[in-house]
Amino acid sequence: MEHTHHNLPEKSIKTYYPLILVLIFIISGTLHFGWLRGEYSLWMTDFDSSFNPRNWMLDFMGLFFLAFSFFKLLDIKAFAQAYKSYDIPTKIFPTWGYMYPFIELVFGILLLHRIGVFWTNVAVVIILGMSIVGVIQSVMQKRKIKCACLGTGFKLPMSQVTIIEDGLMILMALWMILF
């Protein structure tokens, strides 16, 4: 009888591979935009002298919202149903689950084009702040539900990773509001 064991890091990497891949693309795009603006050289040799963390965050957040809205919009009905299983506003107002991917799309466009950055970040804090409450509740209750963060085409579990995603967007938006 063959004995197999599952190493947690290997399982996590396999489980979160789609998310890891999307984040690699987002970070690559973010670095590319900074390079195009001349904030650092291709090899980042003059990184310290011209790096602008605000631009980096705006590009990262903009690409993040565009990418994540894209996957949700591939099957918006399935996303809205899955989102309703843990998102408090969607449980109360089911249409919110259909609106949410378009809101993310608008966030991405506004941030990348630097339009209404202050108010966009305020909206990000409010909307993701509401969203993270349901995520935290689900994780704390150890509910075995599928995360709809990348739509429903991937089998991503609801976990601390989801809290980190939402929390990171909230923290970056707050930093840009306050500084």
From first to last of the 179 residues of the chain, give the pLDDT tens digit: 444 444 445 567 888 899 999 999 999 999 999 989 888 766 666 555 677 899 999 999 999 999 999 999 999 999 999 999 999 999 999 999 999 999 999 999 999 999 999 999 999 999 999 999 999 999 999 988 888 999 988 888 888 889 999 999 999 999 999 99
Number of domains in the chain: 1
Query: Is 158 a domain residue?
Result: yes
Asked if residue 41 is part of any domain, the answer here is yes
The residue whose two tokens read 């197999």 is 4
62: Cβ contacts below 8 Å, ≥ 6 apart: 107, 108, 109, 110, 111, 112
Position 3 in a domain: no
- Asked whether residue 2 is assigned to any structural domain, the reply reads no
Range of the domain at 21: 8-178
Residue 123 maps to a domain = yes
From CA 160, how far away is CA 13, in angstroms rounded?
A: 14
The span from the CA of 13 to the CA of 172, in Å, is 25
